[in-house]
Chain A
């Protein structure tokens, strides 16, 4: 069974701090996607990482895919209150259609 474990589960920080959240698995994924979800809304796709060792930047967000394609990280620089939300990683299952989601990291940034 493919599983994605995310850590930490909750993170509460002050505006301006840096943070990293992690997404780990014992399985290899062909790609991993990061989503952000607001309460009562659907997940919004942030980025897809596809190559082992790949680094993608989206403004203050930096996404990295592990060399073995089993893990990924999301680093936020100088967090702002607008970054508050649930961050989810998801990978394609072996059958190739379903996305398997992690439980997510709930980030709270206070000013």
Chain B
């Protein structure tokens, strides 16, 4: 069964450093998303991406964040200058042509900012 994959599974970085989180969405999906989940809190939407551009973003997704689809398979989230409060699980999701926006999530990347 096709699935969303994410790398790395864990990333530890120093405050102020740039990180890139990578995702390979399900191959025939057209919509891509990033969410984050701070430990003990609910899953929060960051950004959605369709047709090579951002279609929606939340208040969390400020100028420090960017997304890119550099080739036909990868979807990346870059955090330019990480802060302590960026420590969280980051989930990539993708969805296809379903009318009801059924999103399929990857296993997540645990980002720890020291």
Contact = CB atoms under 8 A, between A and B. Distances in A.
Interface of A: 30-31, 33, 35, 40-45, 48, 50, 88, 90, 92-93, 95-104
A44 to B, nearest CB: 7
B102 A97 contact: no
Nearest to B43: A101
Q: Provide the main secondary structure of the chain A interface.
A: loop
Range of interface residues on chain B?
20 to 34
A97 B107 contact: no
A103 B42 contact: yes
Contacts of A90: 43
Contacts, number: 65
Contact of B33 (A40, A44, A96, A97): A97
Contact of B108 (A41, A48, A50, A101): A41
A99 B100 contact: no
Q: Provide the main secondary structure of the chain B interface.
A: strand
A45 B102 contact: yes
Nearest to B54: A97
Interface string B53-65: 0011010000000
A49 to B, nearest CB: 9
B101 A99 contact: yes
Contacts of A104: 42
A45 B33 CA distance: 15
B18 to A, nearest CB: 24
B25 interface: no
Nearest to B48: A97
A97 to B, nearest CB: 4
B103 interface: yes
A31 B56 contact: no
Complex A-B, nearest 5 residue pairs according to Cβ-Cβ distance, in ascending order: A42-B105, A98-B45, A97-B48, A101-B43, A31-B100
Nearest to B45: A98
A41 B48 contact: no
B75 interface: no
B68 interface: no
B22 interface: no
Interface string B20-48: 00000000000101010000011111001
